[in-house]
Structure 1
């Protein structure tokens, strides 16, 4: 299952995504957590010391390795240099699995122990001074998009991505790569503005979207969110002494989280699990190709000097059984 947490800056999406990851860890299900926000805070939210979080290898820096590995023996990909962030898999491509060991995880992932379960943590890498004026953050998240395009995952396997704030993910097709998107919204007009953007953009692509209210202080806040987002409101989170302690660097076992907030996490899990029944691999592959062709025409062909439409394998459909096929 591929799960995204989105929302405006300061909404608390990193905190809630870290809580959801911890909840999955208590269930002993395999989890790959990805920090894809321009402000890299997921590692710290999962209990890493600041120095440990800062030392996480950047996926963006490993993009050549990632491309070369995923290319495999795909005859439509003449070289890793011709691959862009939207390049879809085809016959001969290597596919990623949540539980396997592979060179991508070896280079980029670090294991974090949480509440009795181990989580693989990946990070796109921070936006550095060297990037200012010459690169956009999508050059970092492109590594995540490639991995999502090549990921074969099952019901009891999770990749949870803490996305960059706001609606930046709409600059590519990455917003269509998830089985469920949880949009974290505060009970304010600014808090629900990103929801309106996501709802409008995602409507034409069938993107499953549920709203998670955060920093809710009472019934008036719940009523406000319900009036603004309607039935898309799934659950709300209020004040939490557990979260405050975590943010001070003193996390307690998740079993000590307030019961109302633990119930909200369970509702997130049930909603994510239920999305599996609606998974459509053919549509997923079709949308992948759609955005690849759009990016190719917009900038990819010129950048690579190649007609990237030729990378599309018209007979290939990504699905769970494809993971068993040799490369």
Structure 2
């Protein structure tokens, strides 16, 4: 299942996504983690030092390899150069699975060892000085969107994406790629404003959204969130000595995380599994095609010099059945 963590800058979404990843690993679930934030901090939150975090390969730097691999033998895609971030898979495309080795993971993913197992970590790459005045950050996350469009995940597998802050993720169709989005909100007017923006934008696309209240100190904070968020509020999290130690670079073993916070993380997993059980593969594919056609008309056709609408395979519905066919080819 595919899970996103969103929220305003400083809300704690990276910390909570890292805790959720550690929790899943402790429960022996395979995890592919993706840092898609403009501020690349997920690696550090998972225990990497500065040098290790800086050494993570940038997915955007390997975009030609990603396109060529995913294109496979799809006859509707003339060349990797005509693929854009929204290009959907079709018959002949290569699909990604969480528990496999492939050239995309070889180039873009690195193993990270946690207390209870190992995960794969991928990162978009930071926004650099050379990008200033030349490109927007959303060009960086195009590689993530392309991979999510070609990834088939199972009910006991997790893709966890730490998204860029605020409502910036709506600049692409990537916000529809998830079974469940956890919006991390502080009990403040600014925290709630991001929730309201996200809720409004997501409403027309059936995006499943749950709020995680963070930095909740007392009953007044809790009542404020309940009054502003209503039934979307799933759990709340308060102060954690374990998290404070982690932020200092000296975390105890994960089994020492406070019991109430471990229960909260289990609630996140339960909600994610319930949401995945209701995944509609046809709608998932239809939304993928919708944003591809929209991008093709807006800028893709002109940039590539091709009719990108012809890349859509009308008979194709992304599903585990196609993953099996792709693996055999």
1:114 CA drift (Å):
1.1
Aligned position for 1:34 = 34
Distance 1:50 1:247 in 2: 13
Query: 1:9-30, CA deviations, whole angstroms, 9 ceiling, x for partnerless residues?
Result: 0000000000000000101111
Runs of 5+ consecutive residues of structure 1 not aligned to the other structure = none
Aligned position for 2:54 = 54
SS in structure 2 opposite 1:24?
A: helix
SS in structure 2 opposite 1:96?
A: coil
Aligned position for 1:256 = 256
Aligned position for 2:68 = 68
Distance 2:64 2:194 in 1: 33
Distance 1:183 1:254 in 2: 23
Query: 1:291-311, CA deviations, whole angstroms, 9 ceiling, x for partnerless residues?
Result: 000011111111111111000
CA contact 2:96–2:147 (8 Å) conserved in 1: yes
Aligned position for 1:156 = 156
1:266 CA drift (Å):
0.6
Residue 273 (structure 2) pairs with residue 279 (structure 1): no
SS in structure 2 opposite 1:278?
A: coil
Query: 1:18-52, CA deviations, whole angstroms, 9 ceiling, x for partnerless residues?
Result: 00000001011110000000000000000000110
Distance 1:117 1:301 in 2: 44
Runs of 5+ consecutive residues of structure 2 not aligned to the other structure = none
The runs of at least 4 aligned residues of structure 1 exceeding 2 Å deviation read none
Aligned position for 1:289 = 289
Query: 1:45-71, CA deviations, whole angstroms, 9 ceiling, x for partnerless residues?
Result: 000001100110000100010000000
Distance 1:184 1:28 in 2: 25
Aligned position for 1:179 = 179
1:169 CA drift (Å):
1.1
Aligned position for 1:225 = 225
Residue 184 (structure 2) pairs with residue 203 (structure 1): no
How large is the Cα RMSD of the aligned pairs? 0.6
Instruction: Report the number of matched residues.
Output: 327
SS in structure 2 opposite 1:152?
A: coil
Give the TM-score of the pair, scaled to structure 1. 0.99
1:253 CA drift (Å):
1.4
Aligned position for 1:122 = 122
Distance 1:63 1:252 in 2: 38
Distance 1:235 1:115 in 2: 25
SS in structure 2 opposite 1:88?
A: coil
